Chain A
């Protein structure tokens, strides 16, 4: 059988066996509704609360500050839309960045249609938001600042503590989308001083379909799903018990293994980059390499197009993603690489590799060999080259 190499851990992760085993009883034996008063209901309730404790512990929050949602996207939508709308009397200005996930950007577009004004901060050539830019963008009308913790495409980690401090000085709430950061860098909501923070289970070896929003005690945020009294009356709907239990287990494992995880991924990523640099000419690494998610590598292979390279790698059993317009449903090139200042022709030739807990050195060696072969093949076919230029 052909080797299968998964290098898209930022897209999603496989569920770890320990996580799956923890979840299984809650499908069949312990299937009770946590709102029910009899024993199997209360047992389910207990499992739910234990999971909440574990997720809270992973980010240094109090257990009462964690509210489960269906996804990171829902957490982002809830935080941004409800925070903005409930504070509209104070002001209708919010600030975010040009490199947010679409869960954030499209929530902002929704708010713009409702009469809010949104400032989209630029990033510098390394992939960072300059705190001075935020300081200048804040007005008396600004009620909310939302800046992602770590970027999903280039992995750069923003100075959240500093940014949150600036926002709060001007009386604005601070939200961060920490979906990519969770389980990949230490997060302590108290030290960061954030008000709202979104996370998701399927990026940390938990199941899909479960996320959470951290709402700092004292921050008012209206409910956005109306119904029963679940999630302290803030997010109605019978809880996704199996998902929540899985999220709890994944959070527990993540907290336990965080340092080893970071060390392993950083080493593999750097090994990977060294091998690419040694073997393939005319490449460019996109984004700062120091303040970056440990497993993320974003590389432009000049003179070729990313979807074609992705396809050849797929035929070799390797899964990666690209910022190329040709691979996206919208047929527009990556907004993140555009904001980073990467020339459009080079965005088309960019690939994102993200290594994870199950990646081995052999996987990297195999991938590098396939990259060498496939990049050369596509460069031979290409109508552009180093000699001819773009």
Chain B
């Protein structure tokens, strides 16, 4: 079955994802992807004393996009902003225990969405984080492995 393509941890995070939902008065919000590309993740964060105390997500996307959203929000909860900014796609992938190679691009969503949410928080709170240096939440998505053929055409 299709489910055989994924390991148990991915299936668990997909069928019973953590941190699904929206937040009342979030301190920061980030969106990455688009429905046209097949996946769009939205992350909301609550921040206290530079620590992410809560994170929620909503994702339109395939099974691994949902699983990586779940894992990524788990990973940033309780972390300082600077530590959360250090999370890479590979970290999310490792935490999931790997994805089929064709699906690896899905975990890229989480990394970018986290940065976007922190960027939004920093802008609202008037803060500066070295880890955001050079980050543009509206940059082209061409760093994604499968890009988005339909939009680029």
Residues of chain A with a CB closer than 8 A to B40's CB: 383-384
Residues of chain A with a CB closer than 8 A to B60's CB: 303-305, 382-384
Residues of chain B with a CB closer than 8 A to A331's CB: 102, 146, 149
Point out the residue from B39, B42, B63, B146 that lies within 8 Å of A311, measured CB to CB: B63
Given the contacts A303-B60, A383-B60, A314 and B1 also touching, CB distance less than 8 Å:
yes
B58 within 8 A of A: yes
Residues of chain A with a CB closer than 8 A to B130's CB: none
Residues of chain B with a CB closer than 8 A to A332's CB: 149
- State A390–B39 Cα separation when bound (angstroms): 11
Given the contacts A333-B150, A383-B58, A384-B60, A326 and B1 also touching, CB distance less than 8 Å:
no
A315-357: CB near B (< 8 Å → 1, else 0) gives: 1000100001111010111000000000011001000000000
The smallest beta-carbon distance between B18 and chain A, in angstroms, is 11
Residues of chain B with a CB closer than 8 A to A383's CB: 31, 40-42, 58-60
Q: Are A305 and B3 in contact (CB under 8 A)?
A: no
A285 within 8 A of B: no
B20 within 8 A of A: yes
Taking CB atoms and an 8 Å cut-off, the chain B residues in 2-43 that contact chain A are 2-3, 6, 11, 14-15, 17, 20, 31, 34-36, 38-42
B53-79: CB near A (< 8 Å → 1, else 0) gives: 000001111110110000000000000
- In the complex, residue of chain B having the shortest beta-carbon distance to the beta carbon of A331: B146
Q: Are B14 and A333 in contact (CB under 8 A)?
A: no
Q: Are A348 and B17 in contact (CB under 8 A)?
A: no
Q: Are A345 and B36 in contact (CB under 8 A)?
A: yes
A380 within 8 A of B: yes
Q: Are A382 and B2 in contact (CB under 8 A)?
A: no
A63 within 8 A of B: no
A360-390: CB near B (< 8 Å → 1, else 0) gives: 0000000000000000000011111000001
21 cross-chain CB contacts under 8 A: A304-B60, A305-B39, A305-B61, A311-B3, A311-B14, A324-B62, A326-B62, A326-B65, A326-B103, A327-B2, A327-B62, A329-B102, A331-B102, A333-B150, A348-B38, A381-B17, A383-B31, A383-B40, A383-B59, A384-B35, A390-B35
9 closest residue pairs by CB, A with B: A345-B35, A326-B62, A383-B58, A307-B62, A314-B2, A383-B42, A311-B63, A314-B1, A331-B146
Beyond A305-B65, A311-B3, 14 additional contacts (C-beta under 8 Å) are A307-B2, A308-B63, A308-B65, A311-B2, A312-B15, A314-B1, A314-B3, A315-B15, A324-B62, A329-B102, A380-B20, A383-B59, A384-B35, A384-B40
Q: Please list the residues of chain A having a beta carbon within 8 angstroms of any beta carbon in chain B.
A: 303-305, 307-308, 310-312, 314-315, 319, 324-327, 329, 331-333, 344-345, 348, 380-384, 390
